[in-house]
Structure formats: C-alpha cells, structure tokens
Chain A
C-alpha cells in the first residue's frame, strides 16, 4: 500500500457514490436510449474504480478485470443493445408497473437495508475499499428492483446486466476481485446471456407483436 492511499480511498468512495447515483438514475429513467447510456456510464465508473483499486494495491490482475469491463460493458454490450433497439424499433418511453416516486422510496429503503447489512462485514474486511461494500449491495438490490418494476423486456435485461455490475463491484470491494477464471467465466456468461436474450426479443415480438412481457402471462398452463 503506498503513501497516497487516503486519496485513493477518497477517489474510490467518490466513484462508488457515482455508481449508486447512476443506479438511482436508471431506476427513474423512462427512455430506453438514456437507460443504455446510463448503463454505459455505470460500466465506465466500474472500470475506473477497478483500475484505481489495482493501482492503489498493486494487484495486477485487477487491470485485466478493468480491461474486460471496459471492453464488455462500456463498448460491446451498449453497442449490441443500441443495435437491438434499432432493429426492434422500440424507442418509446418505458412503462413501469409501479410509479417512479414510489419506486424511488422503495429504493431508499433498500439502500438503508444494504448499508445496515454490510456494516459487520466491512468491519471484518481489511481492504481499502471496505466502506463501499454497502454501496455495491445497494446497487445489486436496486438493479433487482428495476427488473421487477419494468414491464418491457429490454429494460429488464439492462437491469440484469446492471445487477452483474453491482456484483462485480461487491467482489472488488470485499476481496480485491474474484479469481481470474471466475471473472472470465462471468464475462462470458453475460455475453452469451445477452445474445440469447436478444434472440428471445425477436421471438417474443414475432409472437405478440410487442415486447411487453405482460403478454407472456398467456403462456401459463391452467
């Protein structure tokens, strides 16, 4: 650990705060295109914070993680999503199942819960990033909440990807990242999941002429 570590700690905290803010922004964002931009920004923040942690602690493998994040979450996935949106022609505003203010209130409760939860763990952890664990968990829960409250398929997938961001951030903050193999595996999973879900979008639209997942309720077997 080098001498400038207090500054690094502050930078990481700042980035974590931005991450949480972005999560809230995604929760309240109605337009899909802006949602993708927010997702991209979240990826960029994640990449930056990982790189800072790597520099501050000298954990070289975290540079690789940061690189993967940059490639996958800042470039590849947003590009795929943009392309999907163009192909599917779904630029309209997102409908939510619960109205936005209520969602935000629930989100605040979740953040308090997450901080409360992370308190004993971060006391145990010896990493410089330990104070950000609560934020990481809050990001996971907020992304989950977003998946629940959206009724269209594309925002749900973005929620899923954002949840993965939160998990990644939690891993970096608690233990300086997962083993390389696991990280590569997860990256591949996310990519493949995205491709499969993309195929699903087309199938769903072909079947119901819409991407509203409420149509899927008809599939239930009585």
Chain B
C-alpha cells in the first residue's frame, strides 16, 4: 500500500473508477423517482466513467501485471486484485460498451416502467462494478463474491418489470442456472487449490490465483478442474445444453440490460474460462480442446438454426448470442488443441480470433439490442410479424442497425468478418496436427463453422428485412418515431466501434498480442506488423491476407461508379401508373413474406432439431388460423425430467417432515445413538 500512495498505479485508478460507479448507483437512491436527475445526470456520468475505465485498461495492456490487496472481506482473507493483459482487455470491452449503453439508457428510461429509475440506476451500476471486480479478482474468494454479485444484480435488472409473471419466470430460470453454474466454478477452484495447506510453505494464502498457478495437478485432477470450469462458465455463457435461460432472460430484460448481458456479461464467462484453462491450470491435455471444440460447434449450429426461425426480435438476437458463444468456444477448443501439441504460434492465432471475436460480438450485439429497444419503444411491439417498413419512420435506427446486421453476418469490411476469417484461418492450419483422427474431424468442423456463418447471415437478413424493409404490417406503425438524440449518440458510438474494428485489424491484433503472450507465450504482433498497416496476414503473406481498407475503397469505388453510370445513362422518363392490376388492388401489407415464411426453408431442412407443434386450418374453416410453435428439445429431454426427479425427491424428503416435535426429536435421538454406536465400533 505504501508505494501505491507514492504513485497511483493503473489498478488504483481502476478501483477508484469502479468506486465511482458504485457511488453513482447510490446517488440514484437519493431521488428514486426523479427521472431527470437519474437519467440525464447519473447515467451520462456513468458513461464517462466507463470510457475512463476503458482508457486506463487500454493503457495497461501489455504492461507488467499489477496486484493490490484490499483490506476488505473476512478476517485473514482479504480480497486480492490483479490487473494483467487479459483482464485489461476485457475491462476495455466492459468500459467501452458500458459507455455506449449508459448513454443509451439515459435516453431510454421512461416513467412508470417497472422498477423506479433510481433503483434501476443502483442495480445497473452495481452490475457494472461487479463485472469489473470479476475481471480484477485474483483469488477465488473475491472472484466468487463478485461473480454472485453480478448474477444477483443482473437478476434484479432482468426482472425490473416484475409484475409480469412471464418475466418473473424467466428471471427465476436465469437465477437457477446461474447458481448451478456457480457451484461448478466453486468446485473447480476447490480442485485447483489442491486441497493441501501450503500457506505456510510458500507464503501465499491458499485460495489466491498465485497459489493455484503454483499447483501442478496430475491428469485426473486437472481434468476435473477443467471439466467443472467448463460446466460452470458454460452455464453462464449459454453453452448448450445450459443455454435455456438465455432466450428467456434476454427478451424479458429491458433493452439496455439485454445489451449489457449479451455483450459483456457473457464475455466474463469467456474470461473466466480462459483464466482457468490457460492461466491457472498448469497441466493441459490436448483432448480437452477437442471436447470444447465439439461442444462449441454444436452450440454454434444449434444457436444459429434456432435464431433463424424466431419470431420475436429479441429472442432472435438471444439465439444469435448463443451462436457467437459457440464460435468463441470453437476457437478456444482449437487453441487448447494446438497448445496441447506445442504449436504455440497456431494457438496464438486461434486465441487471437477468440479475443477479437469477443470485442466484435460485444460491439455489434449491443448495437443490435439497443436497436430493438428503440423499435420497442417506438412501436410497443416485439413480434416480427407485426413490424415492417420502419426504415421510413426510423432512418437512424435502421441504418445503424444495418451496420450491426452486416457485422453480425460477418461481411467485410466490418468487424465480424475479421474474426470469423481468423477463426477459419486457424482451421486451415490443422493438417499439421500430429494426430490422425483430429485431422479427419477438423475439416468437418470447419465446414460446420462456415455453415454457421452462412445461416447467421440468413438470420440477420431476416432480422433487418422484416423489421425495417417492405411495408408496415400494422397501421399504427405509422406513428413510430425515430430514436432520441442520446440513443442515437450511443448507437453511433457502437456502430463506429464496429467499423473501426473492421477497418484497423492490424492495430487491434497488435494490442491482442500482449494477451496471447500471457496465455500461450507468443503472439501475432510481430507477424502482422511486418505486413504494414494495410495488409493483414496473420501467419505469412503467402498463405492468406486481407486488406480491409482496400476492400472498403473498392466497394466505395464500385458503388460510386455504378451511381455515376446510372446517372449518366438513365433516360429519366418515368411513367407512374396503375399497371396491369392482376389482383394488385387486393394486396395488403400483411401479404408480405412473414418471419415464419422466411424461416420456413430452414425449419424444413433442420426439422429434427426443432420440436414443432403446428396447427393448420382445415379446408372449410370460416376463420382459418395457422399457428406454429417451435420449441427446444432440450427443455423436454433434459430439463423437465430433471425437474420432475427433483420434485419427486423433495416429496420423499417432505415425508420426513411430519410436523410433530416428538418425531423431530426422535430423529436427533436416533442420529445420536447411531453416531455413538459408530464411534464406539
């Protein structure tokens, strides 16, 4: 603490800023119902704090790790905090995205929607602060406290509209799975700790990460720790089959909260998984990578095919988040496999793809969620079937979400392309793996990733096309209004991030170098720097390269040339008339392709994946109705049986509870006698 006073370290600044967040949250409680004060003053200040955090953390990338011990917590068990490149990178994501979302929330909060604004302000800022602490924690105790704080604060944010039973149900499901996951993480830390008391011998207390780094668990225990971490962090990230909370919680939450959860909170799970598997675990086995790869692949495919058939815009985005989490796990799996075979440069490539995709997904998914929030406020409608043609009424939102949609679909020159390209690049190097079966498996996996990317594009076309293009499907959509100034600023900031991350990949990868250096001991910084500013060639120029700026210029040039040519050669004669009206007069906006119709081909192709209940009208129905409900098999195959078993188990236990004191006393008595008998024998 002495030298901390002498010259404040980056971590001290970060802690001060996190404290600012907490204070802003408390300030919200002073005047809970004063919307002007909470929304126009506190949230913009929170955004400024977010930007500052991103700035400080960015400066700390690649610096020497800094540690600090807080005199908080239990006696003899203080909080250890540490700032290294990995936490700095995720803090940059947190700060940068929080800046955008806070500004948006300042314009988004309305009177009389669920929880009072001041209380929401408190929950929101505690949520942000707890995520920052998760990223800074350097012992299992501080990590778990921050992790649970994050789960709880986000639970209250999800259920801000708690009068709606659907939302309460979604919140409960979220909390339940969050806690089951937390058990996994806790046990994983327990295994990592090693179970023996080494505090005396090496001078570090037992549950610090520094102590865990010193342990070298053997294969079995390392696998146990890894498996538990995969389970725990997978539950938070939404890895199939622990994903069911995600499509329920995201639509239930207010839009800025869904954006925050999808963009940043899911990334904290990725952070935790990277921290455990690459930093804390000193023993790594190559086949873990294959397991993670397969799980990730299945998650990605599952997420994207469900995303394409959703009719609720926020559920569509939630499934798309599952898909992106799947892609991230695919990358982590590849990195683990490469690392297991000591191919560090390729591990660094895969890991760079993962980290880059974390940045990208945070930027574009928050942008899209904020766009749905704007649409929701303008139309009070979440169902795609009742939207349409909004590009005329909400041009800002429409064009900005076009950016997000393109990025999400992975089209160049936006950011989504770069990371997916990097991921596929790392697949292309797998023939070098010294293991026959994996070599056969990997091309299939690569093809599945490509398929995922393609269907993601399809889902995004559906999202944008049905909401913003065509004719309005309902009359009241004519009253829709564009987003307010603050909301626009926020979305421009996030859209700008999407573009910048897409145009300057070399710069970004140079920054990621520090993180991969930390995790696998090497990085791509030198390789990309040699290619210069324009050319991105991750491994060598002869293999593959990508020049985003040139690409953008070509697109612009072609666009401009087409425009000029059309202007030059267009004859200018236009006749506007009712053409041959083959039923034209009877056509209405409801006859446009619906979201159900758009998803139909995929429903057909992937029908075994869905659980569909279709209700089709008969030939002679006076008022024909068509309805289709697409559900998740996992809910029926996994969750309901588990729930039933738990119910039966508790019923059996409840039989013990007779309500008679004599019986309860008898239980203690019998236990006492049996124990006495046992210790005697």
A149 at the interface (CB under 8 A from B): yes
In contact, B659 and A117 (Cβ under 8 angstroms):
no
B658 at the interface (CB under 8 A from A): yes
In contact, A147 and B659 (Cβ under 8 angstroms):
no
Q: Which residue of A has the minimal Cβ distance to B676?
A: A117
In contact, A217 and B673 (Cβ under 8 angstroms):
no
Interface readout for B124-142 with A: 1 if CB under 8 Å, 0 if not? 0000000000000000000
In contact, A144 and B661 (Cβ under 8 angstroms):
no
In contact, B665 and A147 (Cβ under 8 angstroms):
yes
In contact, A120 and B659 (Cβ under 8 angstroms):
no
Q: How far is the CA of A113 from the CA of B434 in the complex (A)?
A: 68
Q: Which residue of A has the minimal Cβ distance to B666?
A: A148
In contact, A113 and B659 (Cβ under 8 angstroms):
no
Given known A156-B661, A217-B658, A220-B659, contact A120–B666 (CB-CB < 8 A): no
Minimum CB–CB distance for B678 against chain A, Å: 11
Minimum CB–CB distance for B658 against chain A, Å: 7
A186 at the interface (CB under 8 A from B): no
Chain B residues within an 8 Å CB radius of A218? 659
Chain A residues within an 8 Å CB radius of B70? none
Minimum CB–CB distance for B72 against chain A, Å: 31
Chain A residues within an 8 Å CB radius of B672? 141, 144
B657 at the interface (CB under 8 A from A): yes
Q: How far is the CA of A97 from the CA of B663 in the complex (A)?
A: 11
- Size bracket, chain B contacts: 10 to 19
Q: How far is the CA of A150 from the CA of B661 in the complex (A)?
A: 10
In contact, B665 and A216 (Cβ under 8 angstroms):
no
Q: How far is the CA of A217 from the CA of B669 in the complex (A)?
A: 20
In contact, A113 and B658 (Cβ under 8 angstroms):
no
B630-680 interface (Cβ within 8 A of A) = 657-662, 665-666, 668-669, 672-673, 676-677, 680
Chain B residues within an 8 Å CB radius of A105? none
In contact, A144 and B669 (Cβ under 8 angstroms):
yes
Chain A residues within an 8 Å CB radius of B659? 216-220
Chain B residues within an 8 Å CB radius of A217? 658-660
Given known A144-B672, A151-B662, contact A117–B680 (CB-CB < 8 A): yes
In contact, B660 and A214 (Cβ under 8 angstroms):
yes
A213 at the interface (CB under 8 A from B): yes
Q: Which residue of A has the minimal Cβ distance to B659?
A: A220
Q: How far is the CA of A213 from the CA of B664 in the complex (A)?
A: 12
Q: Which residues of B contact A (CB under 8 A)?
A: 657-662, 665-666, 668-669, 672-673, 676-677, 680
14 new A-B contacts, CB < 8 A, other than A148-B666, A151-B662, A220-B658, are A117-B677, A120-B680, A141-B672, A144-B669, A147-B665, A148-B662, A148-B665, A149-B662, A150-B662, A214-B660, A217-B658, A217-B660, A219-B659, A220-B657
Q: Which residues of A contact B (CB under 8 A)?
A: 97, 113, 116-117, 120, 141, 144-145, 147-151, 156, 213-214, 216-220
CB pairs A–B below 8 angstroms (19 shown): A97-B662, A113-B673, A113-B677, A116-B680, A117-B680, A120-B680, A141-B672, A141-B673, A144-B669, A147-B665, A148-B665, A148-B666, A148-B669, A149-B662, A156-B661, A213-B661, A216-B661, A217-B660, A218-B659
